[in-house]
């Protein structure tokens, strides 16, 4: 009876030690994996930010020609000489005293020289952007923002 | 009867060192991978910035003198310090100032300090104002 008791005690010590070892290893693995997951999410956030900034850098828009027609529409010929496609999303025509939130215009866009509507300005592409109606002034700022985060400002002098 | 001591069940010092080394190596590799990814993306961003700056600087160096020789021929002379590629031209009717953009099916390269003649795809009255568009988005009008 006494030998059996001793054996049981020895087995429980082994099981206890193995359990402690397993718990320790599991906690270490969990700690490393949690750290890896945190590091991965932080790195991916940084990569997203860097890539967004890179896309902004690769957008290069040039206003080649602008005029107001007899119907009161403003026509802008915009050329993309960058390597990234630009998607214009907001157009502001700002007078010298600009009020935030005002001056946003709707516009249509088509490939220059044709009547083909285009949703974006591809690389090395010239588009004609028509804003309706044009401001009555002959001097104002044209502010164009793109979905890719680009902001372009030109001066119009009619 | 000798009772087995718990100390005999501990990992040997070599095994402890090995486990510790593995954990440290794994953490080190994770950190190295993260830094490598960020550095790689940062290099790509720097390349884009360099490309954009070069394009803007090259654009500023473009300069063309445009002369309409006839209603189907335009002569352009490169007066700038960089080669220019003409991709199309504007023609503006002086009656209403409305422009008409005509792309060239074959862009014309104008080397440094040289002239090129561009045949207009559409006949343009000589009293219309003609401007050529370059591949960097500049427009040079006839004087």
CB count in 10 Å sphere of residue A139: 11
**Torsions phi, psi of A115, nearest 5?**
-110, 20
What is the structure's pLDDT at B1? Answer: 52
Q: How many domains does chain A have?
A: 2
> What confidence tens digit (pLDDT) does each residue in B4-36 have?
555 555 666 777 788 788 888 988 898 899 899
Asked whether the predicted pLDDT for residue A9 surpasses 70, the reply is no
Q: Which residues of B touch A46 (CB under 8 A)?
A: 38, 41
Pairs across A and B, CB distance < 8 A: 112
Residues B51 and B76 in one domain: no
Chain B contacts to A (CB-CB under 8 A): 1, 3-4, 6, 9-11, 19, 23, 26-27, 30-31, 34, 37-38, 41-42, 44-45, 48-49, 51-52, 55-56, 59, 87-88, 90, 96-103, 131, 133, 135-139
Share of chain B above pLDDT 70, in %: 92
pLDDT confidence band for A18 (50 / 70 / 90): confident
Give the helix ranges, DSSP H, for A58-153.
none
Q: List C-alpha distances in Å: A95 to A98, A102, A155.
A: 6, 10, 10
- Look at residues A88, A84, A46 and name the one whose alpha carbon lies nearest to residue A63: A88
What is the structure's pLDDT at A94? Answer: 79
Residues A75 and A46 in one domain: no
For residue B103, give the 3-state DSSP assignment: strand
Ranking A6-10, A65-69, B83-87 by mean pLDDT, the lowest is A6-10
Residues B121 and B77 in one domain: yes
C-alpha A82/C-alpha A77 separation (Å) is 16
Our CA dihedral for A85, A90, A96, A99, rounded to 10 degrees, sits at -140
CATH value at residue A95: 2.60.40
| Domain end (from A42, A57, A72) | A57
Asked whether the predicted pLDDT for residue A99 surpasses 70, the reply is no
Residues B102 and B39 in one domain: no
CB count in 10 Å sphere of residue B126: 11
Q: Which residues of B touch A47 (CB under 8 A)?
A: 37-38, 41
pLDDT confidence band for A101 (50 / 70 / 90): low
The mean pLDDT value for A128-136 works out to 85
Residues of chain B with confidence (pLDDT) below 50: none
Residues A99 and A136 in one domain: yes
Instruction: Give the residue from chain A lying closest to B32, CA to CA.
Output: A39
Residues B19 and B84 in one domain: no
- Residue A58 and residue B46 in contact, taking contact as beta carbons nearer than 8 Å: no
- Residue A89 and residue B85 in contact, taking contact as beta carbons nearer than 8 Å: no
CA B121 to chain A, closest CA, distance in angstroms equals 12
CATH value at residue B77: 2.60.40
What is the structure's pLDDT at A78? Answer: 95
Is B2 inside any structural domain? no
Residues B85 and B113 in one domain: yes
Q: Say whether A128 and B10 touch across the interface (CB within 8 A).
A: no
Residues A118 and A93 in one domain: yes
Residues B53 and B66 in one domain: no
Our CA dihedral for A157, B90, B95, A77, rounded to 10 degrees, sits at -40
User: What b/e readout covers A51-72, taking b as 16+ CB neighbours within 10 angstroms?
Assistant: eebbbbbbbbbbbbbbbbeeee
Q: Which of B28, B34, B64 to mutate to test the interface with A (most CBs of A within 10 A)?
A: B34
Nearest Cβ partner for B49 among A42, A57, A124: A57
Structural domain of A35 = 1-57
Asked whether the predicted pLDDT for residue A20 surpasses 60, the reply is yes
One DSSP character per residue, A1-51 reads -HHHHHHHHHHHHHHHHHHHHHHHHHHHHHHHHHHHHHHHHHHHHHHHHHH
Asked whether the predicted pLDDT for residue A8 surpasses 90, the reply is no
Asked whether the predicted pLDDT for residue A2 surpasses 60, the reply is no
Is B1 inside any structural domain? no
Structural domain of B81 = 62-141
Asked whether the predicted pLDDT for residue A4 surpasses 60, the reply is no
CA A22 to chain B, closest CA, distance in angstroms equals 12
A138 Cβ neighbours under 8 A, 6+ residues apart: A157, A158
What is the structure's pLDDT at A158? Answer: 74
For residue B38, give the 3-state DSSP assignment: helix
For residue A114, give the 3-state DSSP assignment: coil
């Amino acid at each position: 009876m006494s030998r059996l008791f001793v054996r049981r005690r020895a087995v429980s010590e082994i099981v206890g030690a193995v359990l402690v070892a397993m718990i320790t290893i599991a906690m270490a693995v969990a700690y490393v994996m949690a750290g890896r997951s945190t590091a991965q999410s932080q790195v991916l956030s940084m990569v997203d930010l860097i890539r967004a900034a890179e896309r902004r850098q690769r957008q290069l828009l040039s206003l080649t020609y602008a005029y107001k027609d007899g119907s009161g529409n403003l026509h802008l010929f915009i050329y993309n000489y960058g390597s990234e496609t630009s998607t214009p999303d907001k157009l502001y025509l700002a007078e010298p005293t600009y009020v935030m939130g005002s001056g946003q215009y709707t516009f249509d866009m088509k490939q220059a020289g044709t009547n083909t509507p285009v949703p974006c300005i591809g690389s090395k592409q010239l588009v004609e952007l028509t804003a309706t109606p044009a401001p009555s002034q002959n001097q104002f700022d044209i502010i164009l923002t793109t979905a890719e985060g680009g902001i372009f400002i030109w001066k119009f002098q009619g | 009867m000798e009772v087995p001591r718990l100390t005999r069940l501990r990992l040997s010092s070599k095994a402890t060192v090995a486990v510790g080394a593995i954990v440290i190596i794994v953490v080190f590799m994770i950190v190295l991978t993260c830094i490598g990814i960020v550095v790689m993306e940062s290099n790509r961003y720097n390349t884009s910035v360099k490309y954009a700056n070069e394009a803007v600087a090259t654009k500023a160096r473009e300069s063309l003198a445009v002369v309409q020789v006839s209603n189907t021929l335009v002569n352009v002379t490169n007066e700038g310090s960089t080669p220019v590629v003409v991709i199309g031209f504007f023609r503006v009717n002086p009656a209403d100032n409305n422009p008409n953009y005509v792309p060239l099916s074959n862009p014309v390269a104008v080397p440094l300090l040289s002239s090129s003649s561009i045949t207009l795809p559409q006949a343009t009255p000589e009293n219309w104002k003609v401007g050529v568009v370059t591949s960097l988005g500049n427009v040079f009008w006839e004087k």
